[in-house]
Amino acid sequence: MLSTYQFPENFLWGGAIAANQTEGAHLEDGKGLTSVDLLPTGKKRWDVMLGKLDQLTPIEGEFYPSHEAIDFYHRYKEDVTLFAEMGFKSLRVSIAWSRIFPNGDDETPNEAGLAFYDALFGELLKHGIEPVVTIAHFDVPVHLIEKYGSWRSRQLVSFFETYAKTIFERYKDKVTYWMTFNEINMLLHLPYVGAGLVFEEGEDQEQVKYQAAHHQLIASALAVKAAWEINPKFKVGCMLAAGMTYPYTCNPDDIAEAMNVDRESFFFIDVQARGEYPGYAKRFFKEKDLSIVMEPGDEELLREYTVDYIGFSYYASRATSTDPKVLENQTSGNVFGSVSNPYLEKSEWGWTIDPKGFRITANQLYDRYQKPLFVVENGLGAIDEVTEIGEIHDDYRIDYLRQHIEQMGEAIEDGVDIIGYTSWGPIDIVSASTGEMKKRYGYIYVDKDNDGQGTLNRTRKKSFYWYKKVIESNGQDL
């Protein structure tokens, strides 16, 4: 199907992955244990993600999917070749903090870890693929959790700053696009995932979360400062888990509620992109009796070092209401929680499918921030069947992506400045929320099941050839 959408020249089409969901080799070549390495599968995973971790070492008998993941650490050359075959212009990856600083507070970095990303970025550039790098994607060295209580401690700011400076220096000639914290707003919903937080009995969790958020926001500003100093050509973005919240009705109470729910997320980006704590946040802290400890100079840092672009993920819109009866009807699977929207379909995991919401969300973000947007995640997690002759006919995934890319085209027509689109999991990887392999996003199938069984062989799906055409035609052939 030919579209009429005009995507900018040099639009960064590609895909996005994260170290802990892809690399495996979790203790190889000097890498330290990281927060996500302690996330098992099953119900226990959820408890840990919420900050109820009982021990800081893997438990015998539990299955930890990050330990091997899809073995990208050893197979990245093969995978990059496949991405290049699709014509990728960019690949978003994350660096595993604990590959560079195994404990987080080490005096010197681990050369083997640095060398791995050197080789990976070199391989990408060899194929004309621009690396887009997330500095922290749901990843805190376990030693920092054990010794300092993770991001609740101000000390994490300087460890992160050292880590960021180290990778900026090392890759200053290979990488231009950076992002500080993946889905920074996720900290409020999955505090262990977003910030390595493990709560103590009776602790005021809200207070801890917002203090940790302040530390991440300062760390992010310091990273922007260091980046600009090390290479003025660097572009540093924030990264928001986006998706507009719709009011369930036109009752002003519902409208105000939807505004408040969205502000829980905008809070982070308002600070990172506009440079100060918004008034509604100050009011919230006052009413909740939360006191955020700041150091002299923090406000100036936030004001001066705002991000260059807004990276965001979009999977679904959400809906909310003030009517308790309506609130009972929640969709499952979405970590944010949402009232079920009667106008929209859902994925097999209960995530609302709303292509038009993508256009609305992009417009909303651009209206609010007036900075370039980078769509760094979007996609459909679905179960794929392999036919007898080994083919995967994932038309449902093509439909989802086509409809979303069309709406991105609409947003661009609306005047929204979008610089790229990296769909999530271009190769099947471990699901962040469930730890499953069967929740697949890829154009490339990986032979591995939820229990870790399989050859890890890679196979091109139908969507592989479709996405190749999309990129080749710069979004004309959808």
**With CB under 6 A as the contact rule, which of the stretches 250-258, 297-305, 362-370, 425-433 interacts with ligand BG6?**
425-433
Residue nearest to ligand BG6 (CB): 433
**With CB under 6 A as the contact rule, which of the stretches 57-65, 270-278, 298-306, 427-435 interacts with ligand BG6?**
427-435
Nearer to ligand BG6 (CB atom), residue 339 or residue 430:
430
* 183 lies in the binding site for ligand BG6 (CB under 6 A): yes
- Kindly give the pairing relationship between strand 444-446 and strand 458-460: antiparallel
* 439 lies in the binding site for ligand BG6 (CB under 6 A): yes
* 235 lies in the binding site for ligand BG6 (CB under 6 A): no
Q: Which two tokens stand for residue 301?
A: 């840092």
* 182 lies in the binding site for ligand BG6 (CB under 6 A): yes
* 380 lies in the binding site for ligand BG6 (CB under 6 A): no
- Which amino acid does the sequence have at 175? V
Name which of 149, 66, 48 is nearest 104 in CA terms. Answer: 149
Nearer to ligand BG6 (CB atom), residue 313 or residue 338:
313
CB atoms within 10 A of CB 102: 24
Chain residues 291-350 in contact with ligand BG6, contact rule CB under 6 A? 313
Which residues carry out catalysis?
377
CA pair distance 319, 335, nearest whole angstrom: 13
Burial of 12 (0-12, 13-18, 19+ CB in 10 A): buried
CB atoms within 10 A of CB 478: 18
Element (H, E) at 147: helix 142-148
Min dist CB 34 to ligand BG6, Å, is 14
Nearer to ligand BG6 (CB atom), residue 30 or residue 350:
350
Min dist CB 154 to ligand BG6, Å, is 26
Report DSSP state, residue 31.
P
Report DSSP state, residue 29.
G
The maximal CA–CA distance of the chain, rounded, in angstroms, is 65
* 41 lies in the binding site for ligand BG6 (CB under 6 A): no
Report DSSP state, residue 439.
S
Among 139, 254, 377, 410, binds ligand BG6 (CB under 6 A): 377
CA pair distance 154, 132, nearest whole angstrom: 28
Among 5, 11, 18, 317, binds ligand BG6 (CB under 6 A): 18
**With CB under 6 A as the contact rule, which of the stretches 32-40, 163-171, 366-374, 431-439 interacts with ligand BG6?**
431-439
CB atoms within 10 A of CB 143: 19
Among 35, 150, 431, 463, binds ligand BG6 (CB under 6 A): 431
In which residue are the tokens 């609010």 written?
Answer: 368
Among 131, 381, 420, 426, binds ligand BG6 (CB under 6 A): 381
Min dist CB 431 to ligand BG6, Å, is 4
Min dist CB 349 to ligand BG6, Å, is 7
* 384 lies in the binding site for ligand BG6 (CB under 6 A): no
CB atoms within 10 A of CB 344: 17
Chain residues 251-290 in contact with ligand BG6, contact rule CB under 6 A? none
Nearer to ligand BG6 (CB atom), residue 221 or residue 241:
241
Cβ contacts of 156-162, under 8 Å, gap ≥ 24: 156/104, 156/215, 156/219, 157/215, 157/218, 157/219, 157/222, 159/101, 159/104, 159/105, 160/135, 160/136, 160/219, 160/222, 160/223, 161/219, 161/222, 161/223, 161/226, 162/101
Nearer to ligand BG6 (CB atom), residue 155 or residue 433:
433
Burial 312-339 (b: 16+ CB within 10 A, else e): bbbbbbbbbbbeeebeeeebebbbbebb
Min dist CB 246 to ligand BG6, Å, is 20
**Size, binding site for ligand BG6 by CB under 6 A:** 14
With contact defined as beta carbons under 8 Å apart, do 309 and 422 qualify?
no
Among 424, 445, 466, 467, binds ligand BG6 (CB under 6 A): 424
Nearer to ligand BG6 (CB atom), residue 11 or residue 424:
424
Among 241, 339, 362, 398, binds ligand BG6 (CB under 6 A): 241
Phi, psi torsion values for 424, nearest 5 degrees: -75, 140
CB atoms within 10 A of CB 293: 9
Min dist CB 377 to ligand BG6, Å, is 6
With contact defined as beta carbons under 8 Å apart, do 67 and 40 qualify?
no
**With CB under 6 A as the contact rule, which of the stretches 152-160, 318-326, 432-440, 462-470 interacts with ligand BG6?**
432-440
Nearer to ligand BG6 (CB atom), residue 354 or residue 410:
354
**With CB under 6 A as the contact rule, which of the stretches 65-73, 152-160, 284-292, 433-441 interacts with ligand BG6?**
433-441
Nearer to ligand BG6 (CB atom), residue 170 or residue 448:
448
Binding site for ligand BG6 (CB under 6 A): 18, 21, 182-183, 241, 313, 377, 381, 424, 431-434, 439
